[in-house]
Amino acid sequence: MRALGFNTYGPPEVFEELELPKPTLSEKDVLIKVQAIGINPYDALLRAGTMQKIRPLEFPIVPGSDVVGEIVEVGSKIKHYAIGDIVIGHPSIGGYGEYVAISSAKIVKKPAEMSLEEAAGLASVGTTAYFALQLAKLKKNEILIIQGASGAVGSIAVQIAKEAGIHVIGIANSRNRDYVSALGADEVVAYDEENLAEALADKADVVLDASFGGKGAEEGLRYVKKGGRYISLTSLPENAEEKKVKTMRMTRTKDMKDKEALGYLADLYRSHKLRLKTAETLTFDLRGIIGAHQLIDKKKVAGKLVLK
């Protein structure tokens, strides 16, 4: 099968087109013929070699943990999926390939009205937003501040939190104010126009830092009430103990099941309560993957990059 991967770490140009064996199935797997893939910042870290000590892998490496496609083969113990089903998948790696073998516990049927582009960008960011808010243990009418509210994870977190009855304040660039407001945020504060330290000091029961690279960690701690919670996707702020703020980094645990999160997100979409934003769609080829990774490296992408 055709795949897009690399045999050495480096810039986006290390990607090459590979010819690899078609994946084999276990009895609880399905084989997906990939129709579109989502590109994540993690993929760029993997390609650059930043993750090699944390996650050593043998070359060639084919990244990718967001896919949507058609089931073309099922394992002997598969009961709820059939050949021809279009599913959203969340593999741990290998998504930049023509075919992906994946456990049935990591897929969900694509809502009929959801586009391939929307579906391709959902799994990683959607499950991250879902479990980050589970970790926060928010109560109805508590105040949640989301840093990076216009980003891929933050925008989904806004919508999940509003569905749960949480008062949401989104922090974003002024150019994304209307977008974040349309997602349902009760308030939107523009970091490029307002003094956030004054506007948001000690205002939140919970802060979710979904900013790119955790660049808002230290600033975000100022927004949490004494005794509140601070959830980060990346970096944790220092000096949280002085304010008696509980800090937690969003890391996946065994009890965080993809099936639960993906099922919830698919139902939310079917209920017209989940809006997904695709930043740009590129072609599923070598030129497209290099271009997508170049855009991620520039760190100015709002929404998901998709290859189709």
In angstroms, rounded to a whole number, what is the distance separating the alpha carbons of residues 37 and 55?
Answer: 22
Rg of the chain over all Cα atoms, to the nearest angstrom: 19
Q: What is the pLDDT of residue 304?
A: 82
**Cβ-count burial 235-266 (b if 16+ within 10 Å, e if not):** bbbeebeebebebeebeeeeebebebbbebbb
What would the pLDDT profile of 14-35 be if each residue is shown by its tens digit?
A: 999 999 999 999 999 999 999 9
Residue 216 has pLDDT above 70, yes or no: no
* pLDDT interval class at 195 (50, 70, 90): confident
Where does residue 179 fall: left (phi above 0), alpha (psi -120 to 50 degrees), or beta otherwise?
Answer: alpha
| C-alpha closest to that of 168 among 196, 190, 149 | 149
Nearest-10 crossing angle of helices 258-270, 152-163: 70
Q: What's the pLDDT score for residue 217?
A: 62
| 3-state SS, one letter per residue, for 124-168 | HHHHHHHHHHHHHCCCCCCEEEEECCCCHHHHHHHHHHHHCCCEE
For residues 153 and 158, give the distance between their C-alpha atoms in angstroms, rounded to a whole number: 9
Of all residues in the chain, what percent carry a pLDDT higher than 70? 94
- Contacts of residue 143, defined as CB under 8 A and 6 or more positions apart, other chains included, come to 166, 167, 169, 203, 204, 205, 206
Range with lowest mean pLDDT among 43-52, 138-147, 164-173, 231-240: 231-240
Q: Which two tokens stand for residue 155?
A: 């925008």
Give me 273's structure tokens. 């309560």
Residue 237 has pLDDT above 80, yes or no: no
Q: Of 30-44, 91-105, 187-201, 242-256, which range is least confident? A: 242-256
Q: How many angstroms separate the Cα of 18 from the Cα of each of 96, 283, 287?
A: 10, 16, 14
Predicted local confidence at residue 212, as pLDDT: 63
pLDDT at 259 over 70: yes
What's the CATH number of domain 125-249, 3.40.50.1390, 3.40.50.720, 2.160.10.10, 3.30.70.330? 3.40.50.720
Our measurement of the distance from residue 28's CA atom to the centroid of its chain's CA atoms, rounded to an integer in Å, reads 25
Kindly indicate whether the domain formed by 2-123+276-307 is annotated with CATH number 3.90.180.10.
Answer: yes
DSSP assigned state of 233 = S
Structure tokens at 124: 């990683």
| Cβ(214)–Cβ(147) below 8 Å | no
pLDDT at 302 over 60: yes
Predicted confidence at residue 49, as pLDDT, reads 92
Question: Does residue 233 register a pLDDT over 90?
Answer: no
pLDDT digits over 175-190, tens only?
999 999 999 999 999 9
Using CA atoms, how far apart are residues 228 and 239, in angstroms rounded to an integer? 14
Chain segment 33-64, per-residue pLDDT in tens: 999 999 988 899 899 998 888 889 999 999 99
- DSSP H/E element including 71: strand 67-74
Considering only CA atoms, which of 220, 260, 215, 253 is closest in space to residue 234?
215
Residue 214 has pLDDT above 60, yes or no: no
Structure tokens at 239: 């000096």
pLDDT at 192: 86
What is the predicted pLDDT for the residue at 197?
Answer: 78
Q: In the chain, what are the domain boundaries? A: 2-123+276-307, 125-249
Please give the mean pLDDT across all residues of the chain: 91
Q: What values do phi and psi take at 172, rounded to 5?
A: -160, 170
Provide the pLDDT for residue 240: 65
Across residues 200-211, what is the average pLDDT? Answer: 90
